[in-house]
Structures are given as structure tokens and as C-alpha cells.
Chains A and B, each alone.
Chain A
Amino acid sequence: MTHLLEIDHLSVDLVTHRRYRKVLQDVSITVEKAEVVSLVGESGSGKSMTARSVLNLLPAQGKMSGNIAFEGQSLMDNTNKDWQRFRATKAAMIFQDPRASINPVHRIGDFLTEALVHNRDMDRHEALERAATILEQVGIDDAKRRLRQFPHELSGGMLQRVMIASVLLIEPQLILADEPTTALDVTTQADVIAILDDQRAQREMAMLFITHDLELAAAFSDRIAVMYAGYIVEVSTPAQLHARPLHPYTAALLRSRPLLHERTERLPQISGRPLSAFEAPPGCPFQDRCPYVQAQCSESLPPTQLINGSIVRCHRANELELASTASADAGTEGGQSRE
């Protein structure tokens, strides 16, 4: 069976301070048609770079190795023209901060229609008609007037809806959403997410959703991939992830969330600081912060294993029994092991 998107052993190197540094290591993940997969992790864990790799939008001199395939076709030998065609028709990205990403000097109507007009030779008036229809679908009233306005005349939430509309207009099979609500007010976040997921589902588009919000990811994705230091450490369904996390990092992330129905004096934290891929020590990237670390963890990189349908990259995944809430293992500092 061919996957819609298949990322296979992807590694990415970027130039910082005049030398190549690893930002992604051996990342493998698939997205099926109409499926939502979330990439969750701390800043610098490589989630955004994974999404940008799919569109070949890495910073200058970035290097990719491994394979990315779309509908079974590898994209790695794409020419610039091939990439343009791919971006124009197959996959489109929603950026984090619409205020920065939507060009402030052009009207909303021009922003929405430029891809249709320039890539598909659509008549401008027809494109504007279509843009107005979609603006109404993403919950913007008075669409005709909005089309003539400039980005600074709209609120952040409105602008992100415009961004969503611009992606829907392309009618891609895959949406890459790079923290689409991080720059918005908490109150508008929920609206924007609901609209995005609703419109996507109606059109049966797949989505790779990037967030650092585990709850949000759990709320509407089919699968969640947890990233740490440029690696994917665990891939699971939301239910399974919450019930029985397999990687100590996932468990620690889940435990450090505040809970609505419980009072906590102090939220558990993960000691140490998040690492970038190039800083990670040989062996398991999480070893320095892991409460279950053993000698083998610094000796070799854990291979990915399949346990109960989940994918995990931990030497001790089979023996550890991890809890997802702090109260479940209160008193036994950091969970239990079967030994």
C-alpha cells in the first residue's frame, strides 16, 4: 500500500556559524490520505524542519538525505520546476505567524489569488469570486470588503483564517500546519483550529500538524509523533499515548502538564535542558535527562521497535511501565520498573 506521504530515514543538516549541524536524524513517518498526524516536541526538536523538508523549503545550503515520497513517488530528485509544481498542487503550508508571513504590502485578495492567477492562469475575477466563497467558509463575514483590505487591517485570528483560506484554495492533498495557533490569543485558538480541522475533513485532506501542545494534538489527530533532539522517539494514537506512554520522554511530557481536575503544588519538570540534534551525545539522545538511564543507553542509539502498534525508540521500552499523570506514581519518584 502506498502512503500519501512517506518520510523515510530523513536526516537534515543546516549551516549555522559556518559549519554543518544536524537538525534531523533518521526521521521516519507516514501520513495517509485524510489522516491527521501531529508532530509534538519542544522548540528545536526538529518539528518545523520536518515539515519544511517536505516542501524543500530548508534555509540556504540545507542538506537532506534519506527519502521523502508522495503518493509513492520520491521527491528527492525533483528539479526546481518539479518542486514548484508540487507546492502549487499537492501540499501547502500554514505558517505560525500570519502577521509576518502574509506580505503586508499586498491586499488580502491579491494574497489569496496569486497562486491561482500565476500558477493556474485563472482569470483574476474568477479567482476573487472563489476566494470570497472560501473566506466565508472559514468564518469571515463581509468577504468582498475583506478582499480589498490590507493585512494590517485584520486581527491575528482573522489573518490566520485568511492563511487557512489560501491553503484551501490550492486544494492540496496534504496540509502542513506549523504551529498555526501559537501566535494567536488563547480565545481565538480554539476557533481557528476548529475551522481548520472542519474544512480539512470536508475536503478529505491529510494534515501534518506541528504543535508543542500535547492536549491539542490529542484532541484531533489520528496519530501523534513525539520528537526529541531531531529524532522521533515515539509514534502512537492519542488514546494509547495517554494511557501508556512507551518512551520516558513522552511520559515526562505528559506528567508536566497542569491538570484541570487536580490541584498540584508544583508541576513535575524534566531536569536539564532540551538538546538540539547536533548536541545530542552518542547513544540515546535523551540519556542525560532520563530517570531510567542505564549503561546501554550511552553505548548505542536505541533502534525503533514496534510495541502494541506504537513505534518507540528506547532500549528499555519493553520493561518500563510508565504513567502519564503525576499522581499515578506519586511516592515512587519517576515511575516504576518491573524489576
Chain B
Amino acid sequence: MSRYLLRQLLGMIVLLLVTSFVIYASLFLAPGSPDALLFGAHTVSPALRAAVNRQYHLNDPFLQQYWYWLVNVLHGNFGTSITYRTPVALRLSAAAPVTAFLVIYSAILIIVSGVALGVLSALRPGKLDTLIMTATNIGTAVPTFVAGLILLAIFGVKLNWFPVYGAGAGFFDRLRHLTLPAVALAFWAVAYLTRVTRTSMREELQGDPVMTARSRGLSRRVVVQRHAFRNALIPIVTVAGLQVAGLIAGTVIVEQVFGLNGLGELLLTSVQDKDFATVQAVSLILVAAFIVVNTLVDITYTMLDPRIRLGANQS
């Protein structure tokens, strides 16, 4: 078990290194260069240009530049924003909490309501099931930005229950400000997870282990919890993990719709400003979060399915 964990963590670190390289290299290949951006249309003396190049290590070989960047990033130094002349880390520390709050809030909404609705739907065939399935049909068809605009129009503008702009300060104010964005972000994911949960539960309820449990005279509660739900969790965790990881990318859109100064918003403006250091830093953080979530899902599997643990020991 611990060997399996170690292997997962090692794999995660290697993957993080590879992605950091890809992120760094892809910006290197992108059109425009830092010095062109800095000087714009101004003509500058070769001495000044050389000084700037030296300061940013722009003349060093590519791999060496990557190495400088990596070492700095590992020390928490993401460089200085070329456009704003402020440390990138400072801008990140302002934006990251908003996005993190939004993602966690939305993830909780997705997992709790998706699993609850799916289980309910599987256990109560008939009207309730039909109602939930109709709702999820609509839900899966609504893109996040449409859901966001509709929620804004109804609960923000018309009913005036929630603020339409900004991230708020302090926990409860932030909760209120981020409710509509989190719901918008969760919308189709809840619908999808509900369907997966329902299918998975249905399958387990008709499966052999449930039949065995029923034949032993176990109560419906024990059969549903210990056998049907427990076994259905494996596909549920897979899909939930993918969706939570997907939320990290989804925040880019929602932050635009709701005017939130999160990482997605920061990424978008930095790309427009050709702010290399910031784009690199934000991309790296988003990708790292994605990888960490996936690793957590993998580790959860081993707790859910003992057969995976054996596979790790044998190899």
C-alpha cells in the first residue's frame, strides 16, 4: 500500500516536471519575445538592449533559461510581471484564493447533489426518477456560460438575491458572492454525475453481490449501503474526479461572466498583455492543480477497490 502511494507520488512529480517544461517551451515558441514587448516600437541603444537581455537571461541557451525559471519557481519566485513590474507571486496571491474558493465550493455542490440525486433516482424508479432524468437532460445540454448568464439574469438582476459582480471579502460575504458562479460552474457537472451515479447504482442493485446480500436476509439499508453504493462508488469517483479537475479550466469562463479577479481572469488578461512570466505561472498552477486532483482520485481508488492494491504489489 505504501509502496503504491510512493509510486503515485513519484509519478506525479515526474508529470509536474514534464508539464512545467512543456509550459515553458510553448511560450518560448509563441510569437513575440519579451524584449520586443518591453521596448515596443521604441528604438533603444544596443547597450540598453544588452543590459535588459542580461537581466532576464534572454541570451542564455534555452535549457539554461528553463533551469533558472524552474529553480526560482521551486523557491516560490515566479518572476516579475513585465507589463506591471510587480512580482508575479503577488498577483497570484490575490487571484488564487478566489479561484480556489470557487472550485472547492463548486466541487462540493457537484459531489453532494450529483451523488444524492443519482442515488435517489436509482432507488425510486417512477415519477421522481423521470423528473430527475428530465432535469439532467436539460442540465447536460446547457453550457456553463449560458447557465451563468441565466442565473445572473434571474437571481442577480431580477430577484436581486445575489450580487452580480465581484468576489466579496470575508468568508460569508465571499460565499454569497460566489454562490451564483459556483452553481453556474456546477450546473452541467451535477447533471452528468447524477446520470453516472444512477446508472452505476442501478447496475450494482441488479448485480450478484447484492443478490447474495439479499439472500442472507440483510436489511435494505445494509444492502444498499454496504453493497450497492459501496461498489457503485468506483465509477462515481472516476467521473467526479474528472469533473472537479475540469472545473479548474472552467473557471476561466465563469470568472469572465461574473467579473471575478481569479486565476482564469488573470490568465486571460496576461495572454492579451503578452505578460510571459504571469502566463507561465498561472498555467503552471492550473495544470499542477489538475494533476494533484487526478493523483488524489487514483489514491482514492486503492481505498475503494482492493484488487488495485494487489496489482501494485505484484508488479
- Measured as residues with beta carbon below 8 angstroms from the partner, the interface class of chain A is 20 to 34
Q: Quick one: which of B216, B220, B226 contacts A170, CB cutoff 8 A?
A: B216
Chain B 258-308 interface residues, beta-carbon cutoff 8 Å to A? 304-307
How many residues in B have their beta carbons less than 8 Å from beta carbons of A? 23
With A87-B216, A150-B306, A152-B307: A106-B208 Cβ-Cβ less than 8 Å = no
Q: Do B306 and A101 touch (CB < 8 A)?
A: no
Q: Tell whether A95 is near chain B: CB-to-CB under 8 Å.
A: yes
Q: Quick one: which of A83, A84, A106 contacts B226, CB cutoff 8 A?
A: A106
Report the minimum CB–CB distance from B212 to chain A (whole Å). Answer: 5
Q: Tell whether B222 is near chain A: CB-to-CB under 8 Å.
A: yes
Describe B's contact surface by its main secondary structure. helix
Q: Tell whether B55 is near chain A: CB-to-CB under 8 Å.
A: no
Question: In the assembly, what is the distance between CA of A130 and CA of B231, in Å?
Answer: 27
Question: In the assembly, what is the distance between CA of A97 and CA of B207, in Å?
Answer: 12
Question: In the assembly, what is the distance between CA of A153 and CA of B306, in Å?
Answer: 10
Question: In the assembly, what is the distance between CA of A80 and CA of B213, in Å?
Answer: 14
Q: Do B208 and A85 touch (CB < 8 A)?
A: no
Chain A 142-173 interface residues, beta-carbon cutoff 8 Å to B? 150, 152-153, 166, 170
Closest to A86 in B: B217
Report the minimum CB–CB distance from A2 to chain B (whole Å). Answer: 23
Q: Tell whether A93 is near chain B: CB-to-CB under 8 Å.
A: yes
Chain B 188-238 interface residues, beta-carbon cutoff 8 Å to A? 206, 208-209, 211-220, 222, 226-227, 230-231
Describe A's contact surface by its main secondary structure. helix
Report the minimum CB–CB distance from A55 to chain B (whole Å). Answer: 6
Interface 9-mer from A39-47, A62-70, A113-121, A252-260: A113-121
Q: Quick one: which of A57, A80, A95, A153 contacts B310, CB cutoff 8 A?
A: A153
Question: In the assembly, what is the distance between CA of A60 and CA of B209, in Å?
Answer: 16
Closest to B211 in A: A57
Q: Quick one: which of A86, A95, A104, A105 contacts B211, CB cutoff 8 A?
A: A95
Q: Quick one: which of B215, B222, B307 contacts A114, CB cutoff 8 A?
A: B222
Question: In the assembly, what is the distance between CA of A115 and CA of B227, in Å?
Answer: 13
Q: Do B217 and A95 touch (CB < 8 A)?
A: no
Q: Tell whether A88 is near chain B: CB-to-CB under 8 Å.
A: yes
Q: Do B215 and A103 touch (CB < 8 A)?
A: no
Closest to A87 in B: B217
With A95-B212, A114-B226: A103-B218 Cβ-Cβ less than 8 Å = no
Q: Do A92 and B208 touch (CB < 8 A)?
A: no
Question: In the assembly, what is the distance between CA of A110 and CA of B24, in Å?
Answer: 51
Per-residue 0/1 for A260-276: is the Cβ within 8 Å of any B Cβ (1 yes, 0 no)? 00000000000000000
Residues of B within 8 A of A118 (CB): 218-219, 222
Q: Do B217 and A103 touch (CB < 8 A)?
A: no
Report the minimum CB–CB distance from A183 to chain B (whole Å). Answer: 12
Per-residue 0/1 for B73-96: is the Cβ within 8 Å of any A Cβ (1 yes, 0 no)? 000000000000000000000000
Q: Quick one: which of B214, B220, B226 contacts A57, CB cutoff 8 A?
A: B214
Q: Do B304 and A105 touch (CB < 8 A)?
A: yes
Q: Which residues of B contact A (CB under 8 A)?
A: 206, 208-209, 211-220, 222, 226-227, 230-231, 304-307, 310
Q: Which residues of A contact B (CB under 8 A)?
A: 55, 57, 59-60, 80, 83-89, 92-93, 95, 97, 100-106, 114-115, 118-119, 150, 152-153, 166, 170
**Other than the known A103-B213, A114-B213, A114-B218, what 15 A-B pairs have Cβ atoms closer than 8 Å?**
A57-B215, A87-B214, A88-B217, A93-B215, A95-B215, A100-B208, A102-B212, A103-B212, A103-B226, A115-B216, A115-B217, A119-B218, A150-B307, A166-B216, A170-B217
Which 9 pairs show the lowest CB-CB distances between chains A and B?
A88-B217, A87-B217, A103-B209, A150-B306, A100-B208, A115-B216, A101-B212, A101-B208, A93-B215
Can you spell out 12 A-B residue pairs with CB atoms less than 8 angstroms apart? A57-B214, A80-B220, A85-B217, A87-B216, A95-B212, A103-B227, A105-B230, A114-B213, A114-B218, A118-B219, A150-B307, A152-B307
